Amino acid sequence: MAGPIEQFEIKPILQLGEIAGQQISITNSTVYMFVTVGIIGLFMLLSTRRSALVPGRWQSASELLFEFVAKTVRENAGDEGMRFFPLVFSLFTFILVANLLGMLPYAFTVTSHLSVTFALAMMVFLTVTIYGVMRNGFGFLRLFLPSGVPPYIAVFIVPIEVISYLSRPVSHSVRLFAVMLAGHITLKVFASFVVGLGGLGTLGILGAAMPFLMVLALTALELLMSVIQAYVFTMLTCMYLNDALHPGH
């Protein structure tokens, strides 16, 4: 049985060429990201092609998803935050589907790679920073100095707030990456116990009962974490967007 780390290996599928000595290729990660986007697009097409006053199952599912994300945006970024709804909705659905897709046997989990989660987090960071500066000008700097802080304390608070702000892409990306990575490794380890013990005969099969139950429990937990982590990433995105909209709060 393959080791627990092998499932995260990025493998080239199609070589496209070379730029500045670097190979450009389509990998298994690329394919799964395209599949993720394809699933989301297909779902939205199926659920909205026949809009009705009394929604069917597909339309109800898409409306519930829409309302859930919209509620998250309004609660964390206010009504003004709805201008970023397309971005937030896209992030939530992409991460959610990618996480769930990675739960399938022999599937590749793109969100278990820091390069992917960091790219998503960096996109949010740049959006917040650029929009915050364009909207508020120098007023955006109020984000680093909470109102009511005495000047003698501000000398210490401002550097801390700046460092905290610059580290957002790291903390934002590592949280999702670490949870998905650790969960899949743990699941793979216990699954290997089941396979290993099952090959030892009757006593081995009996001994594999406990690891098998752990695999079932961990699978359920991973499914739950797939949804929770998509929500957490989205909620933090909304909170950061709120800083761009209201830097003085």
Indicate whether 85 belongs to any domain.
yes
Indicate whether 2 belongs to any domain.
no
Indicate whether 6 belongs to any domain.
no
101 and 44 housed in the same domain: no
Indicate whether 119 belongs to any domain.
yes
144 and 215 housed in the same domain: yes
Indicate whether 241 belongs to any domain.
yes
2-59 pLDDT, tens digit each: 566 777 788 888 787 777 777 788 888 999 999 999 999 999 888 877 766 666 777 8
DSSP secondary structure, the chain, as one string: ---TTGGG---EEEEEEEETTEEEEEEHHHHHHHHHHHHHHHHHHHHHTT--SS--HHHHHHHHHHHHHHHHHHHHHTGGGGGGHHHHHHHHHHHHHHHHHTTSTT---GGGSHHHHHHHHHHHHHHHHHHHHHHHGGGGGGGGS-TT--HHHHHHHHHHHHHHHHTHHHHHHHHHHHHHHHHHHHHHHHHHHHHHHHTT-HHHHHHTHHHHHHHHHHHHHHHHHHHHHHHHHHHHHHHHHHHHH-TT-
Indicate whether 5 belongs to any domain.
no
d(CA 112, CA 99): 9
Q: What is the number of domains present in the chain?
A: 2
74 and 192 housed in the same domain: yes
Indicate whether 4 belongs to any domain.
no
112-123 pLDDT, tens digit each: 999 999 999 999
Domain with 31, as residue range(s), is: 11-49
178-230 pLDDT, tens digit each: 999 888 888 888 777 777 776 666 666 776 677 788 888 888 999 999 999 99
29 and 115 housed in the same domain: no
Indicate whether 73 belongs to any domain.
yes
226 and 144 housed in the same domain: yes
29 and 60 housed in the same domain: no
99 and 21 housed in the same domain: no
131 and 85 housed in the same domain: yes
25 and 78 housed in the same domain: no
109 and 197 housed in the same domain: yes
Instruction: Say what the pTM is.
Output: 0.89
25 and 102 housed in the same domain: no
CA pseudo-torsion sign 183, 185, 186, 192: positive
197 and 221 housed in the same domain: yes
